[in-house]
Structure 1
């Protein structure tokens, strides 16, 4: 992919060179009409992009590279438009933790720009390649990323620090209130309930909600990374489903392998409620909180059906 990245860099440079405006105007500089230049933010994935846009409000512009629910971030191939976005960004947000590391850092390096900051979620939450990358399903990690994005905005535009503090407070206490309440309700009612899952994307959510993940983590990780799970793991999961050792089965509908399709069918046949999550915002235009609330409501309904309360 190195040759492709280099070509994208050349294309972005040519595009920037034809422009009469600098690719990255200084934040806080006066624009025509006395307006203040907005911070140009680009996120590798749209769930972080949604949060970044809402935290920045009228003081930022935000674009996300991966916004199609059918796109697999693990194997994404960068485009010339991605290179243009990166070249003009003042803040680039990437997930890291092995999730987008095959393309995002290379795209940044191939399109250098002075004054650009790069925020890597893995660094923010203290995780590395090989750890679970799906940290947008962890409430604690989301809180840390909110703090980190706000700190970046205040660094890039210190004159508007008070505005960003207000945005953060509103987002955390008002905008995310339904999301926060649903998580609290599920944890209070269903903590300790055993569930099964199709891949590791569900693990941070289960940890946040206090649910007991019965599926072997080795299986969850294999499916997430596109590897063939072991026979022993598949046998264990079949036994869990047939023996109704799990109350609910949660699967990523964007990554349904033949093994997962079989498990979903087995769970339904056994009378075990099945609910879904997705890898990226669904629908693509949803906000982070609307997406999460819809998934949490689905999980809560499945748990209620399974437990009778």
Structure 2
């Protein structure tokens, strides 16, 4: 099974260096100010964690949220199924910390992007191959967990004539990743990815899926939690403004030769745009002890 992806070179790094010297005595006033700032930072992070947990406990389907530590806020995105009353109840659940919320609305419904069509087929469903991975001499591919949950065996065609192999493991909800083994030696399984780092806010990314093809966009949030309408809650997701459509589930999110995520779900389409969430691929690699190549 052959997959090619456009390459966009790029990398990012964050370096923090703290130094001290015995030759220069620290200024007591500066030290006190630093300690106060650190205390406020810690208190702010704790407050945002409490707000995020309150949003989770409100249990409003069709919402997604992440902590913006730089802006000091919890950003909540609500799809079209969330009524004004439900949104007001969510705000009330946060209580006196409600000013730390930023609420935005998007059209459509937050759902896992599962559909029938082409690409990789299991049962009566179609999903998208994510990344080919390996463990020693054995080869596998990653896809979305909500895809792995519905099919024990995957095929390269809708008629189920060309078998790929079985679903070995699948997790959804909570996380959203699955591992499928290549049992058909006649199928090609090329690589092309050299690493699987963490994504970062503002990163220019590309997504490929079996329904809508290849589209680009930007990472808008990290460690997002989404309550899919009727589909469970998933934590730790990458939030983006890249469009996606049903059947794109499991497809890869990447930057150049860096593997970043697996398409989980979202709202909208590639005509009007939308919000899409991705399972970080490094979490799946760690869970299954496999590597991209």
Q: TM-score, normalised by structure 2?
A: 0.27
Return the TM-score normalized by structure 1: 0.26
Greater RCO (CA < 8 Å, at least 6 residues apart)? 2
The structure whose residues are more often strand, as a share, is 2
